[in-house]
Amino acid sequence: MKVLMFGWEFPPYISGGLGTACHGITRALSAQGVDIIFVLPTLDAGVGAPQSHVRLVSASDIPLLEQGPEVSPGTLEFRIIESALKPYLGEPEYKEMLQKETARWTAGESRGSRYARLSGGYGPDLKSEAVRYGEAAGEIGRMEEFDIIHCHDWMTVFAGLRSREASGKPFVLHIHALEFDRSGENVNRDIYDIERHGMEQADCIIAVSHYTRNRIIERYGIPPEKISVVHNAVDKSRAAHGVRKKEGRKIILFLGRITFQKGPDYFVEAAARVLEACPEAEFVMAGAGDMRPRMVERAAELGIGRSFHFPGFLAGTEIEEIYAMSDVYVMPSVSEPFGISPLEAMLYDVPVIISKQSGVSEILRHALKVDFWDVEALAAKIISVLTRPALSEELVERSRDEIRKVHWDNAAAKILEEYKILAQRR
């Protein structure tokens, strides 16, 4: 079976959990004999190297695409399309980036042969760019041979629809996050409309949790029978137990985008209460996002600035090091469709505290759980882990057993079953 897959981040072009999920899914699918063509919009191709199971194949000018070399079963190829789309992009950020890219082109910077050159310039707004990317991606759908179209989140909806129009193949829409997760009730109506249209048109919807499935049913009016749940997993090769490096002071870690969705403000408020009981503790808020300046200010207002660190966006070995140094990992998300980072923390024998409003809470029985808004309960749980070694050890020991059952192979097997059902219908 061959799959045409559209995503908008993939290692090494990665900003968050979607790239990690796409890597895990494609790696497991390829191990089960599935051939994948992965189409990625990026302005930064050539930075770093793809992972071991990936063969990078560039596209030439759209629509005159060069055919990639023959691939053996179970491999993955890239088709890179030059586009200003990128992970977690909002309208203001898109316009700012558009101005920078226009200036770079005016200055005569060369893109190199690894890009798909698109005529007509970038779209004037985020929705237009998603449509423009979809039109270009549709040419790939017209020229390639494949059995299934698999799209990840809203930015790829037009690409999937155009490819189905060109090929007649089934269209799977994989929902990793909804606009309601990212923005609460203050949704971008254009993005919501694209999400709903994509889900209405899709032949099958895959949700990363029952939490997300229920939101799709309630908020978008999609029939329940159209939605399957496939939980994410974690790459166990990333860490080995026993690698933790103990530092002097206890470290409590927040790692993720510093945005409304991730609940950073609740983490800061809880930190102030924890430090009253455990003044030697240190808090780390690693990541980038629009709420970061306010969180720095709030930590100063609470008088906890000396015990609070903001190292910025971390990647690669930096993430491994911060996990290894930590004594507690906290994910206080307001709305988390899944949440891979707690699983990653568990690989480093770090006890985790997670929001009840998260998909990962469905598969973790031995993580401590709290309502995101309950700052007092969150602080009490952090204090308990820091001051009760027996509790910390029990959480670590039970999480080791639990995480052994979380496999990307299982997720891939469920996805492959959906592919087969769709192919049989056709």
d(Cα 399, Cα 393) in Å, to the nearest integer? 10
Q: Which helix (DSSP H) or strand (DSSP E) does residue 206 occupy?
A: strand 204-207
Q: Which residues contact 297 (CB under 8 A, 6 or more apart)?
A: none
Average pLDDT in the chain: 84
Mean pLDDT calculated for residue range 41-70: 43
d(Cα 408, Cα 336) in Å, to the nearest integer? 19
What pLDDT, on the 0 to 100 scale, is given for residue 296?
97
What pLDDT, on the 0 to 100 scale, is given for residue 244?
54
**Are 214 and 93 contained in the same domain?**
yes
Residue that wins the pLDDT comparison between 273 and 124: 273
**Are 351 and 229 contained in the same domain?**
no
Mean pLDDT calculated for residue range 26-51: 75
Residue that wins the pLDDT comparison between 36 and 182: 36
Amino acid at 55: R
Residues 254 and 278: beta-carbon distance below 8 Å: no
What pLDDT, on the 0 to 100 scale, is given for residue 4?
96
**Are 294 and 390 contained in the same domain?**
yes
**Minimum mean pLDDT range among 4-18, 177-191, 287-301, 337-351:** 4-18
Tokens representing 173 are 């829409």
Q: Report the C-alpha dihedral over residues 348, 354, 358, 359, rounded to 10 degrees.
A: 40
**Minimum mean pLDDT range among 24-33, 86-95, 244-253, 377-386:** 86-95
Q: How confident is the model at residue 48 (pLDDT cuts 50, 70, 90)?
A: very low
pLDDT over threshold 90, residue 86 = no
d(Cα 341, Cα 331) in Å, to the nearest integer? 8
pLDDT over threshold 60, residue 98 = no
Report pLDDT digits (tens) over 376-398: 999 999 999 999 999 999 999 99
What pLDDT, on the 0 to 100 scale, is given for residue 396?
95
**Are 186 and 49 contained in the same domain?**
yes
> pTM of the predicted model, to two decimals?
0.85
Mean pLDDT calculated for residue range 269-297: 96
Q: How confident is the model at residue 11 (pLDDT cuts 50, 70, 90)?
A: confident
What pLDDT, on the 0 to 100 scale, is given for residue 321?
93
pLDDT over threshold 50, residue 347 = yes
Report pLDDT digits (tens) over 160-218: 999 999 999 999 999 999 999 988 888 988 899 999 999 999 999 999 999 999 999 99
**Are 247 and 370 contained in the same domain?**
yes
- For residue 63, is the peptide bond before it cis, meaning its omega torsion is within 30 degrees of 0? yes
| Strands (E) located in 43-140 | 54-56, 76-82
**Are 195 and 290 contained in the same domain?**
no
Amino acid at 87: P
pLDDT over threshold 80, residue 310 = yes
**Are 217 and 315 contained in the same domain?**
no
Residue that wins the pLDDT comparison between 323 and 97: 323
What pLDDT, on the 0 to 100 scale, is given for residue 138?
81
**Are 416 and 382 contained in the same domain?**
no
**Are 228 and 262 contained in the same domain?**
no
Phi/psi region, residue 284 (left: phi>0; alpha: psi -120 to 50; beta: rest), is beta
pLDDT over threshold 70, residue 50 = no
What pLDDT, on the 0 to 100 scale, is given for residue 243?
52
Distances from the Cα of 59 to the Cα of 72, 129, 377, 413, angstroms: 19, 19, 52, 30
Residue that wins the pLDDT comparison between 60 and 386: 386
**Percent with pLDDT over 90 in the chain:** 63
**Are 260 and 213 contained in the same domain?**
no
For residue 77, the domain's CATH number is 3.40.50.2000
- For residue 342, is the peptide bond before it cis, meaning its omega torsion is within 30 degrees of 0? no
What range does the domain containing 204 cover? 2-233+408-425
**Are 26 and 92 contained in the same domain?**
yes
Helix then strand then coil, % of the chain, to nearest 5: 45, 15, 40
pLDDT over threshold 70, residue 25 = yes
HEC string of the chain? CEEEEECCCECCECCCHHHHHHHHHHHHHHHCCCEEEEEEEECCCCCCCCCCCEEECCCCCCCCCCCCCCCCCCCEEEEEEECCCCCCCCHHHHHHHHHHHHHHHHCCCCCCCCCCCCCCCCCCCHHHHHHHHHHHHHHHHHHCCCCEEEEECHHHHHHHHHHHHHHCCCEEEEECCCHHHHHCCCCCHHHHHHHHHHHHHCCEEEECCHHHHHHHHHHHCCCHHHEEECCCCCCHHHCCCCCCCCCCCCEEEEECCCCHHHCHHHHHHHHHHHHHHCCCCEEEEECCCCCHHHHHHHHHHCCCHHHEEEEECCCCHHHHHHHHHCCEEEECCCCECCCCHHHHHHHCCCCEEEECCECHHHCCCCCEEECCCCHHHHHHHHHHHHHCHHHHHHHHHHHHHHHCCCCHHHHHHHHHHHHHHHHHHC
Mean pLDDT calculated for residue range 228-251: 76
pLDDT over threshold 60, residue 354 = yes
How many structural domains are present in the chain?
2
**Minimum mean pLDDT range among 54-58, 139-143, 199-203:** 54-58
**Minimum mean pLDDT range among 171-180, 233-242, 259-268, 286-295:** 233-242
**Are 263 and 390 contained in the same domain?**
yes
